[in-house]
Amino acid sequence: DAEITQSPRHKITETGRQVTLACHQTWNHNNMFWYRQDLGHGLRLIHYSYGVHDTNKGEVSDGYSVSRSNTEDLPLTLESAASSQTSVYFCASSPRTGGYEQYFGPGTRLTVT
Protein backbone atom coordinates (compact mmCIF):
# COMPACT_ATOMS: atom_id res chain seq x y z
CA ASP A 1 0.00 0.00 0.00
CA ALA A 2 1.14 3.54 -0.72
CA GLU A 3 2.12 5.51 2.34
CA ILE A 4 4.00 8.45 3.78
CA THR A 5 6.71 7.84 6.37
CA GLN A 6 8.87 10.04 8.55
CA SER A 7 12.13 9.33 10.32
CA PRO A 8 13.23 9.46 12.97
CA ARG A 9 10.01 9.37 15.03
CA HIS A 10 11.77 10.87 18.03
CA LYS A 11 14.95 12.93 18.17
CA ILE A 12 16.82 14.74 20.92
CA THR A 13 19.55 17.11 19.84
CA GLU A 14 21.62 19.93 21.25
CA THR A 15 21.38 23.63 20.50
CA GLY A 16 23.47 24.59 17.48
CA ARG A 17 23.56 21.17 15.82
CA GLN A 18 22.32 20.57 12.30
CA VAL A 19 19.39 18.16 12.13
CA THR A 20 17.67 16.58 9.14
CA LEU A 21 14.19 15.06 9.31
CA ALA A 22 13.25 12.67 6.53
CA CYS A 23 9.91 12.40 4.73
CA HIS A 24 9.19 9.76 2.09
CA GLN A 25 5.95 9.11 0.20
CA THR A 26 5.12 6.35 -2.24
CA TRP A 27 1.98 7.87 -3.78
CA ASN A 28 3.96 9.74 -6.43
CA HIS A 29 2.36 12.98 -5.25
CA ASN A 30 3.75 16.19 -6.68
CA ASN A 31 2.96 18.32 -3.65
CA MET A 32 4.72 17.90 -0.30
CA PHE A 33 4.54 20.01 2.84
CA TRP A 34 6.26 20.38 6.20
CA TYR A 35 4.34 21.63 9.25
CA ARG A 36 5.17 22.10 12.88
CA GLN A 37 2.57 21.65 15.59
CA ASP A 38 2.77 23.41 18.94
CA LEU A 39 0.18 23.77 21.69
CA GLY A 40 -2.09 26.71 21.02
CA HIS A 41 -0.84 27.25 17.46
CA GLY A 42 -2.18 24.34 15.51
CA LEU A 43 -0.31 23.30 12.37
CA ARG A 44 1.93 25.96 10.86
CA LEU A 45 3.45 25.64 7.41
CA ILE A 46 7.26 25.65 7.26
CA HIS A 47 8.11 24.84 3.62
CA TYR A 48 6.36 23.26 0.70
CA SER A 49 7.13 21.90 -2.75
CA TYR A 50 5.02 21.49 -5.88
CA GLY A 51 7.47 19.26 -7.69
CA VAL A 52 11.09 18.25 -8.20
CA HIS A 53 13.49 21.17 -7.68
CA ASP A 54 10.60 23.41 -6.54
CA THR A 55 10.61 24.73 -2.95
CA ASN A 56 8.70 27.56 -1.28
CA LYS A 57 8.72 29.21 2.12
CA GLY A 58 5.77 28.94 4.45
CA GLU A 59 4.82 31.18 7.36
CA VAL A 60 7.51 29.93 9.78
CA SER A 61 10.48 29.13 7.51
CA ASP A 62 13.28 30.93 9.38
CA GLY A 63 15.96 28.46 10.48
CA TYR A 64 14.69 25.67 8.20
CA SER A 65 15.51 24.55 4.67
CA VAL A 66 14.28 21.87 2.25
CA SER A 67 15.39 20.42 -1.04
CA ARG A 68 13.46 18.27 -3.54
CA SER A 69 15.69 16.11 -5.71
CA ASN A 70 13.04 13.48 -6.50
CA THR A 71 9.27 13.05 -6.25
CA GLU A 72 9.30 10.77 -3.20
CA ASP A 73 11.39 12.72 -0.68
CA LEU A 74 11.35 16.14 0.98
CA PRO A 75 13.92 16.28 3.80
CA LEU A 76 13.68 19.15 6.29
CA THR A 77 16.95 20.55 7.67
CA LEU A 78 17.38 22.66 10.76
CA GLU A 79 20.61 24.50 10.05
CA SER A 80 21.45 25.29 13.68
CA ALA A 81 18.88 23.88 16.08
CA ALA A 82 17.37 26.23 18.66
CA SER A 83 15.22 25.46 21.70
CA SER A 84 12.35 27.31 20.01
CA GLN A 85 12.35 24.56 17.38
CA THR A 86 11.32 21.93 19.91
CA SER A 87 8.05 20.74 18.38
CA VAL A 88 6.25 17.95 16.59
CA TYR A 89 6.91 18.00 12.85
CA PHE A 90 4.48 16.60 10.30
CA CYS A 91 5.11 15.97 6.65
CA ALA A 92 2.16 15.81 4.25
CA SER A 93 1.54 15.22 0.56
CA SER A 94 -1.28 15.80 -1.90
CA PRO A 95 -1.72 14.70 -5.52
CA ARG A 96 -2.33 18.07 -7.16
CA THR A 97 -2.34 21.77 -6.52
CA GLY A 98 -5.67 23.08 -5.31
CA GLY A 99 -8.21 22.04 -2.71
CA TYR A 100 -7.14 18.44 -2.44
CA GLU A 101 -6.86 16.37 0.72
CA GLN A 102 -3.42 16.29 2.28
CA TYR A 103 -2.16 12.99 3.66
CA PHE A 104 -0.05 13.29 6.78
CA GLY A 105 2.90 11.27 7.97
CA PRO A 106 3.08 9.96 11.57
CA GLY A 107 5.16 12.91 12.81
CA THR A 108 8.59 13.45 14.34
CA ARG A 109 8.90 14.69 17.91
CA LEU A 110 12.03 16.85 18.10
CA THR A 111 13.50 18.09 21.37
CA VAL A 112 16.32 20.64 21.32
CA THR A 113 18.19 20.88 24.64
Partner 1 sequence: GQNIDQPTEMTATEGAIVQINCTYQTSGFNGLFWYQQHAGEAPTFLSYNVLDGLEEKGRFSSFLSRSKGYSYLLLKELQMKDSASYLCAAFSGGYNKLIFGAGTRLAVHP
Sites of contact with partner 1 (CB under 8 A): 33, 35, 40-45, 48, 58, 90, 97-99, 101-107
Closer CB to partner 1, 85 or 93, in the complex:
93
Task: Provide the 10 A C-beta neighbour count for residue 37.
Answer: 14
CA 62, CA 68: separation in Å to the nearest integer? 18
Contacts of 62 (CB under 8 A, 6+ apart): none
Closer CB to partner 1, 72 or 103, in the complex:
103
Least distance CB 108 / partner 1 (angstroms): 11
Closer CB to partner 1, 17 or 41, in the complex:
41
Least distance CB 91 / partner 1 (angstroms): 9
Q: Are 94 and 4 in contact (CB under 8 A)?
A: no
Least distance CB 62 / partner 1 (angstroms): 18
What is the chain's Cα-based Rg?
13
